[in-house]
Amino acid sequence: MSGRALVTGGSSGIGAAICRRLAAEGWRVAVAGRSAERAGAIADEIGGVAVVGDVADPDHDPVALAAAALGGLDCAVLNAGVIADADLAGTGADDWQWLLEVNVLAVHRHARAARPQLAATGGSILMTASDAGVWGEPAIAGYSVTKRMVLQLMRCLAAEWGPEGIRVNALCPGDTAPGMVTTTAGRREPGATEGWLPPPLGATVQAGDVAGAAAFLVGPDAARVTGVGLLVDAGMRASSTGWRIGGGA
């Protein structure tokens, strides 16, 4: 498979793994991230290009920058996201604004910006949601709500833009290592896996596992797949206790 892909949040964790996997499969990749150093390092590693900026900034347009650098787009992987460790009562107005702007509004804005490019090429959009968007997680309630919104956004756009030949899908990763290491508020060690209970398959999901699912969903084997939120969680959601951290609710 070859094509031109933008990956937001591509400089670390799941996003970096997706960049590496797509490049290995022949894609030309624009690695988007807030850090020029980290995005540049991944881009240099895979022979891609770096797109630097904050997705929360309405004036930053990673889609236009990626399309200009690559000569167009065939895929937009909208992976950038943030998380706050708080229940609903503890999620303040500033946290809500931050979560909504990055996890929902920026995703919609960038999907809309990519629409003309993808309609011209019969391309696809892949959003990173979460297993927390499939069932509620009270300990990260605001994040859970916004990832549910991502899933509904994905379904609505799949229905609206399908006639234009644009496929829209989402990934729903479970506990993943390495995961969100730079945009986590309230965690002692962002991205740490200590204390996680093993899922039914016995091992924590790795970022490369999620990247493999991403490569499938944006590739030709998924040509008739749209409107799907794919769980990649090693069976966590098949178990009523598999997602609990350290035995707590």
Q: Coil, strand, or helix at residue 217? A: helix
Give 47's contacts (C-beta < 8 A, 6+ positions apart).
23, 28
The helix (run of H) or strand (run of E) holding residue 147 is: helix 141-161
Q: Per DSSP, what are the bridge partners of residue 84?
A: 185
Residue 117 bears catalytic tag: no
The helix (run of H) or strand (run of E) holding residue 28 is: strand 28-33
d(CA 245, CA 239): 13
d(CA 238, CA 249): 16
Query: Active site residue: 27, 98, 143, 161, which one?
Result: 143
Q: Per DSSP, what are the bridge partners of residue 232?
A: 173
Give 121's contacts (C-beta < 8 A, 6+ positions apart).
3, 72, 73, 74
Length of the chain: 249
The CB density around residue 105, as the number of other CB atoms within 10 Å, is 18
Q: Per DSSP, what are the bridge partners of residue 30?
A: 6, 49
Give 247's contacts (C-beta < 8 A, 6+ positions apart).
197
| Residues designated catalytic | 143
